[in-house]
Amino acid sequence: MSEAARELTEVQRNPDLDAFEQNRVARRARITRPKWNPKQWHPIYEEVVLLDAMGLSRKDIALEKGFTETHVTNIMNTEQAKIIKQLLIARLRKKHEETIDQRLEKMALKAMDRVEEVMQNDELAEKNPLGLFDRAIVLLKGTKKIATEETTNIKNAMIVSEQGLDRLLKGMEKADEARRLHGLQPILIDNAKPSNP
């Protein structure tokens, strides 16, 4: 029996102590109570941790698993539960980050396909003054597939042949024409002109 528990027993037996002293001793006994730890970690405890990580309330978990709320709280306060919850959250974050990177990569590839399609399709360029091309360029800049003034990292630069550069510049000139018609700021730098006008 702990010292605080012994003191609480003595106070309860002594009727001469005032209520304040009895409350003080009772609080001390509650504070010094050892934490609950299971003798054996059961799989159902992992289910409790998973439900808690998913955002269910302790009351809902207790109802679903047939425990009391106090028992669910005791499970969640164990070191094992804290470690399991941290691992779950870390795995979810990693999976989420990988998914975002994969999605951005797919979008960048699709943008490149669309840029190529627009550059090779004169009919499409006449119908839509490269609005799609403009969006694709913005996406490629955002995913750092095309170097911009802000990006100086050579690993993320796109290498383009001279013919490809001429096509890009012509396309950007047409996009600038469309932007000027709509009262928007042009993208292309004025002194950048294709070699074969």
What distance in Å separates the CA atoms of residue 194 and residue 196, rounded to the nearest whole number? 6
Find the angle CA(102)-CA(106)-CA(110) to the nearest 5 degrees.
Answer: 170
pLDDT tens digit string along 72-89?
A: 999 999 999 999 999 988
Give the type of residue at 190. D
Of 122, 171, 116, 117, which Cα lies nearest the Cα of 145? Answer: 116
Q: How confident is the model at residue 124 (pLDDT cuts 50, 70, 90)?
A: low
DSSP calls for 90-107: HHHHHHHHHHHHHHHHHH
Two structure tokens written together for 158: 């796109």
pTM of the model: 0.38
